[in-house]
Amino acid sequence: MKIVTEEYIQHLSNYHYQILYKPELLFDVPFQYQNRIALEFNHLYHWHPLIPDDFRFGGTNYTLKHLLGNPEIVIKHGMASFVDSLSKQIAGRFTVKNHPHFGVKVAKNVIKHGRELRLQSYNNYRKRFNLQPFQSFEQLTGNKKLAKELETLYGDINGVEFYVGLLSEKLRPKAMFSETMMELGSPFSLKGLMSNPLSSPKYWKPSTFGGAVGFDLVNSATLKKLFCQNINGDCPEVSFRVPGFVESQGEADDESFRNCPEHGEL
Ramachandran angles phi, psi of 249, nearest 5°: -110, 0
Q: What three-state secondary structure class fits 171? A: strand
- DSSP code for 178: B
Alpha carbon of residue 22 to chain centroid: 22
Q: Is the dihedral of CA 179, 182, 187, 188 positive or negative?
A: positive
Please spell the DSSP secondary structure of 44-111, one letter per residue.
HT--GGGS-SEEEETTEEEEHHHHTT-THHHHHH-HHHHHHHHHTS----SSTT---TTHHHHHHHHH
How far is Cα 95 from Cα 49, in angstroms, rounded to an integer? 7
- Structural element, H or E, at residue 149: helix 144-154
Using only C-alpha atoms, what is the Rg of the chain?
21
How big is the chain, counted in residues? 266
Q: Is 73 exposed, middle or buried (0-12, 13-18, 19+ CB in 10 A)?
A: middle
Q: Is 102 exposed, middle or buried (0-12, 13-18, 19+ CB in 10 A)?
A: middle
Does 48 carry a binding-site annotation? Answer: yes
Q: Which residues make up each annotated binding site for heme b?
A: 48
Binding residues: 48
